[in-house]
Amino acid sequence: MDSMKEHIKTLVKLDLAALCMMYGANKFISSVAPAKNIMKPGTGKYFKWKYGDVFYHKTGEGSPLVLLHDVYPSQSGYEWLDVVEALSKDHTVYTVDLPGCGRSAKPKVTYTNYFYVLFLTDFIKKVVKKRTDIIADGYSSSFAIMASRLDDTIIHHIIAVNPYSFGNLAQTETGQSRFGRFILNLPIVGTTVYNMEVSHSNIDYHFTEEYLYNPFRSNNRYVDAFYEGAHYNEGNGKYLLASIKGLYMTVNIRKALRNLGDKVTILYGQGIDYSKNIIAEYTSVNHKIKVYPIQKAKYLPMMECPKEFLAAYRKSEEK
């Protein structure tokens, strides 16, 4: 019996030591990740939203245009950096770091599609204050589509960049997804898992193997910005990642998409697997959707080939 007690004490000590090491490592990562200060706010502003301050940058003159990045803790409005200047020649451009991402607040909440629909609706009504066009990357296009369904007076046109498939958007919760969310929400272990997921090397891998058509177009500026954005607010981006892993942001957009008529345009990278199938899904629901491909591009055409992205966007503006 005494031997068993000693074993238990030893295990407890080892567990506590491991937790202390993880805690220290997490604190170290949080302190050094923003060291290059790539994501400095500069002339940006903060929208005082009920779930925390949301960072945005306003530039240019003309009709309003809101830029929404894809939803992942490492992503932010930084992805639009190489096209903002050109877009701002004809538009008042609002580049947003969505809640849970980049320089915005990362509250400990469950992030859902409706959470982002509410944010977008409030942002347009209280900051933009006019009916606006939106360029939305990846999952964010579903927020714009659903926000337009909620209030059809706030959005004029939606340019969806590489929208997700209906199947991806409508996934249902599983035991595995619940477990993934549970782990990430743990205080120390969850932060450690998060830091592994958004490590510098892992982000670099995503750029070279997934995000870009040509991996040689990746550079340290991209990777450093995504890495820094993921670690703002001491790893609290893990709560967004937990909701993503838990499949809490899924939504069926078919009905909303069908009712939007000619208000939607799709720009897509031709290098994405199954991109033609995704386009077929969307156009089968709404045959008025216009589609413009971007050659030799994948998930981040605005970063990989900004000139080609802008050319496709200008085509979408032609009447």
The mean per-residue pLDDT over the stretch 17-34 comes to 66
pLDDT given for residue 6 in this prediction: 45
| Percentage of residues of the chain with pLDDT beyond 70 | 89
The mean per-residue pLDDT over the stretch 244-253 comes to 93
Q: Over 90: is that where the pLDDT of 113 sits? A: yes
pLDDT, greater one: 2 or 189: 189
**How confident is the prediction for the chain on average, in pLDDT?**
89
Q: Over 50: is that where the pLDDT of 153 sits? A: yes
- pTM check: above 0.75: yes
- The b/e string for 98-135 (b: 16+ C-beta within 10 A; e otherwise) is bbbbbbbbbbeeebebebbbbbbbbbbeebbeeebbbb
* Residue 262 token pair: 């000619």
The mean per-residue pLDDT over the stretch 265-282 comes to 94
pLDDT given for residue 4 in this prediction: 35
Q: Over 60: is that where the pLDDT of 230 sits? A: yes
Write down the residue that tokens 């296009």 correspond to.
141
- The CATH architecture assigned to 45-317 reads 3-Layer(aba) Sandwich (3.40)
Secondary structure in 3-state letters for 59-111:
ECCCEEEEEECCCCCCCCHHHHHHHHHHHCCCEEEEEECCCCCCCCCCCCCCC
Please provide the DSSP assignment of 295-317 as one string.
TT--S-HHHH-HHHHHHHHHHHH
| Domain residue spans of the chain | 45-317
Q: Over 50: is that where the pLDDT of 5 sits? A: no
Give CA separation, 159 vs 15, 134, 169, in Å: 50, 6, 18
Give dist(CA 213, CA 163) in Å, integer: 17
Q: Over 80: is that where the pLDDT of 7 sits? A: no
Write down the residue that tokens 């220290």 correspond to.
24
**Weakest mean pLDDT among 25-34, 253-262, 283-292:** 25-34
pLDDT given for residue 232 in this prediction: 85
